[in-house]
Amino acid sequence: MSSTSTISSTAFDVYAVRAEFPILSRTVHGDVPLVYLDNAATAQKPQCVIDSISRYYQYSNANVHRGGHALGAEATALYEDARATVASFLGAEPNEIIFTRGTTEGINLIAASWSQMVGDSLRGRNIVISGMEHHANIVPWQMVCERTGAELRVIDVRDDGTLDLNHARTIIDEATAFVSIVHVSNTLGVTNDVREICSLARAVGARSLVDGAQAVVHHATDMRHIGCDFYVFSGHKLYGPTGIGVVFGRADVLATMPPYQGGGAMISTVTFERSTYLDAPMRFEAGTPNMEGAIGLAEAIRWFKRIDPSALREHEASLAKRMHADLSSIDGLRILGPTESHVGIVSFVIDGIHANDLGVLLDEQGVAIRVGHHCTMPLMKRFGVSSTARASTAAYTTSEDLDAFSTALFRAIKLLR
């Protein structure tokens, strides 16, 4: 389907959506139809995104911002149009959008630059994260604390998989300098009240970051409504390419922060005595950027915005309810996290069966899920497990996919028990 095609805004046609993803028609292990339920790790790409990247390389490939020729001007226009597209998607301004390699680099960029800016003032203060964070939102802050003497505090996760907001209100205090919180857990699928948590940070003068890697594909993300200082996500979970990510940063905050990396494109002047830097966002985009990634991400956003959001939410909620019900009916199966307030991400363990063994047997039947600790080892420890199986849906997931998943799961359990 071409990039100008439309998806009905009056009813959600999952089969029309699915037809736009060429990989979903392939088979694995010879002639076994693919059932792709690993969308929280990475989503598949519609044909229009694939075509946009191909077109760029076929007709407009050049470096951006500095070329004095037609191709350079075309590439620059496409790249900056992508920035504007992302800004509109987030309810932000283009100068508040920084392109990175992904969520992980985005968090590292903010942690490194912001901590360099505040420097020694962090000694005796604290940084707050939660007990359900991805390693990418734990390790960079641990490094900041080790370097500066700040204390790392962790918001408790309740037994039902939700955050303890009362505990958050206790540990976010006058000594808090930064709060970094996940919007949607990649393991539990739970949606956190990030607006409330950012408000708590703002009330004590702390900066706030929201990890939106799993949220942008499931929730409307308006930066002014959330009230965060920073928001980060990865393109590949939003039906876009890998190797491209986004940092939203409030313009007034970015203006105070030093560069993350040095090199070309981010400088104003360079001498051997000193260098001066461009304003944000260019100050934070050293070197040749991922032009094709940004272009592909913009096309993915345009594709995604053609889907009626209410119809999509209804479709995904139905899938999540169905998947949760199917899994809950299996003896000895335990689902981590809440039954409500979650998107289509379900992590589970089965008595006496290792997640890796389960993943192998499902794969033999064409069903792709994720197994392991999902880069949330502290959360695994909190629930007393070392790994889980995780199934996750997307806009193109059908009821037939869930039928195949259930059938394959029962077969695998029968073989392993």
Catalytic residues: 375
What amino acid is encoded at 324 in this protein? H
Structure tokens belonging to residue 172:
């976010």
Measured distance CA(262)–CA(328) in Å, rounded: 52
Does residue 100 sit in helix, strand or coil? strand
The helix (run of H) or strand (run of E) holding residue 347 is: strand 345-350
Measured distance CA(252)–CA(388) in Å, rounded: 42
- CA nearest 167: which of 175, 176, 158? 158
Q: Are 32 and 415 in contact (CB under 8 A)?
A: no
Measured distance CA(417)–CA(369) in Å, rounded: 20
Strands (E), 120-273: 126-130, 151-155, 176-182, 207-211, 230-234, 245-249, 267-270
**406 alpha carbon, distance to own chain's centre:** 27
129 burial via Cβ count (<10 Å: 0-12, 13-18, 19+) = buried
Structure tokens belonging to residue 132:
């359900």
**Which residue shows structure tokens 């695998």?**
412
Q: Are 260 and 280 in contact (CB under 8 A)?
A: no
Q: Are 395 and 318 in contact (CB under 8 A)?
A: no
**45 alpha carbon, distance to own chain's centre:** 15
The tally of CA atoms less than 13 A away on the side-chain side of residue 368 is: 21
